[in-house]
């Protein structure tokens, strides 16, 4: 009975786990050894940075490349890796190394952490995730290190390659280029742009999809989930690239000075990074308002379930579109690839979308109060970026008030663990109704 009394359900464990990691990271970043000036960060700035890293967001109040020592940067990189894969995946890794068995409770937490539909094969999936991550990050690090070696000493190039590979695979968007420049110096460099776009995309499609693609050579089949993720991701990527290309083509401050290839690479990178990565190759603050609003939409949708990214997720967006299309056609069921989507899935998609939308609206409204000198689009962009754990900004993050930073910290945290997970964590008990009320009718539309 005592064990049951102190047992935490998966949502509470995940929320407390992420919060604990953030607090440990914040404490380390306040230490003098973490910053170049030998003073450490103030606790609020340290908490903001640790939350941004653990929630793989990339919003920063201080420049990562010039503010932190190697120790501080490695703390941030560790938080990114743990936050991106999930602390339960790392706990499983340590269990493997110590030769321990994975308990039922740990398997349930893994399933919740990875947002998997079934607990079957969850430990094998965790092992695969660790292998995929190692191989992809190493490959990205090698390619980027070779490219950076043409611009800097080989030791520095290797360090830069490793840092940016891990940061972008985990969709974090932190960079150590310096002076808040991100990757703007490589806007028309195919090697850097295509490598980082690949890292972001692989990290954003989800480990379940990645595992199915790996097993496709044997199984010769893909689940409905994987098909929806791949198709929706491709459509959003293509639409975002074309939209940004057209809207920024004549913008003197972004794409116009570039060659045609540079314009394509610039539009592609901004479309990819808006799906929760956070690095940028053109100045976000100089983009047209129409492009910025398009990016707000892409950030809100975000990546896919079980990935290193945030947002309401591609499958949620696809499910809602399917429901709308079915209503327009007068159909009762939502059907993808000759398979019917259950009503409980549609309700969950609607709940996730509305809770995310309410969070963005409320936080943006509060920011208009705490940051009276900032324009509305900048604040909406900042809030959506925090919710989608993206990290793109129009340049206002370092200038936020203490209250504004606190609001963004909460939004990043909620965006990473999910508004529903937080709601479930603070709910005492969720039981199904013992009875059903008679059906009533209201008019819609």
| Per-residue model confidence as pLDDT tens digits over 349-385 | 999 999 999 999 999 999 999 999 899 999 999 999 9
**Cα torsion through 125, 131, 133, 138, rounded to 10:** -170
b/e string for 395-427 if b means 16 or more Cβ within 10 A? ebbeebeeebbbbbbbbbbbbbbbbebbebbee
Q: What whole-number distance in Å separates Cα of residue 258 and Cα of residue 104? A: 56
pLDDT tens figures, 56-89: 888 999 999 999 999 999 999 999 998 887 756 6
Under 8 Å between Cβ of 368 and 360: no
- Helix or strand run (H / E) with residue 326: helix 314-328
Q: In terms of pTM, does the model score above 0.95?
A: no
pLDDT tens figures, 166-197: 999 998 989 998 778 888 899 999 999 999 99
Those residues with Cβ within 8 angstroms of residue 174's Cβ, 6 or more apart along the chain or in another chain? 52, 53, 58, 60, 64, 76, 77, 80, 163, 167, 278, 391
Q: What whole-number distance in Å separates Cα of residue 381 and Cα of residue 292? A: 8
Q: How confident is the model at residue 201 (pLDDT cuts 50, 70, 90)?
A: very high
Under 8 Å between Cβ of 39 and 32: yes
SS3 322: helix
Under 8 Å between Cβ of 212 and 222: yes
φ and ψ at 399, to 5 degrees?
-95, 5
158, two tokens: 């290797």
Of 373, 377, 383, the residue nearest 407 (C-alpha): 383
> Got the DSSP string for 166-211?
HHHHTT-----SSTT-TTGGGTT-HHHHHHHHHHHHHHHH-HHHHH
Q: How confident is the model at residue 110 (pLDDT cuts 50, 70, 90)?
A: low
| pLDDT value at 97 more than 80 | no
| pLDDT value at 3 more than 50 | no
Under 8 Å between Cβ of 249 and 268: no
- Helix or strand run (H / E) with residue 340: strand 339-341
| pLDDT value at 336 more than 80 | yes
Neighbours of 4 (CB within 10 A): 6
């Amino acid at each position: 009975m005592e064990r049951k009394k102190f047992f935490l359900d998966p949502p509470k464990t995940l929320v407390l786990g992420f919060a604990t990691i953030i607090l440990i990271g914040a404490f380390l970043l306040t230490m003098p050894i973490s910053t170049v000036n030998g003073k450490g960060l103030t606790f609020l700035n340290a908490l903001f940075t640790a939350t941004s890293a653990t929630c793989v967001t990339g919003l920063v109040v201080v420049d990562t490349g010039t503010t932190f020592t190697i120790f501080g940067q490695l703390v941030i990189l560790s938080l990114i890796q743990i936050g991106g894969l999930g602390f339960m995946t790392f706990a499983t890794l340590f269990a493997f190394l110590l030769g321990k068995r994975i308990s039922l409770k740990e398997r349930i937490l893994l399933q919740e952490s990875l947002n998997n539909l079934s607990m079957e094969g969850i430990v094998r999936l965790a092992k695969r995730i660790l292998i995929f991550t190692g191989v992809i990050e190493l490959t990205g690090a090698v390619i980027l290190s070779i490219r950076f070696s043409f611009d800097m000493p080989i030791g520095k190039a290797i360090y830069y390659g490793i840092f940016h590979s891990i940061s972008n695979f985990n969709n974090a968007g932190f960079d150590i280029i310096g002076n808040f420049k991100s990757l703007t110096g490589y806007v028309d460099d195919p090697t850097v742009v295509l490598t980082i776009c690949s890292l972001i995309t692989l990290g954003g499609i989800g480990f379940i999809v990645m595992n199915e693609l790996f097993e496709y050579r044997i199984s010769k089949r893909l689940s409905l989930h994987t098909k929806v993720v791949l198709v929706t991701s491709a459509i959003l990527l293509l639409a975002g690239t074309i939209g940004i290309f057209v809207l920024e083509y004549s913008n003197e401050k972004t794409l116009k000075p570039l060659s045609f290839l540079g314009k394509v690479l610039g539009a592609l990178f901004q479309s990819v990074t808006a799906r929760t990565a956070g690095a940028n190759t053109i100045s976000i603050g100089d983009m047209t308002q129409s492009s910025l609003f398009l990016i707000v939409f892409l950030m809100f949708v975000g990546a896919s379930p079980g990935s290193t990214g945030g947002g309401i997720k591609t499958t949620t967006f696809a499910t809602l579109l399917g429901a709308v299309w079915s209503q327009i056609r007068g159909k009762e069921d939502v059907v993808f690839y000759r398979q019917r989507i259950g009503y409980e899935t549609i309700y969950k998609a609607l709940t996730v979308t509305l809770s995310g939308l309410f969070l963005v609206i409320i936080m943006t409204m509060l920011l208009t109060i705490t940051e009276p000198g900032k324009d509305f689009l900048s604040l909406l962009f900042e809030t959506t970026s925090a919710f989608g754990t993206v990290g793109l900004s129009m340049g206002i993050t370092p200038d936020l008030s203490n209250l504004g930073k606190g609001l963004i910290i909460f939004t990043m945290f909620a965006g990473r663990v999910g508004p529903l997970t937080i709601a479930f964590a603070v709910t005492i008990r969720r039981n199904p109704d013992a009875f059903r009320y008679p059906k009533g009718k209201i008019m819609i539309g």
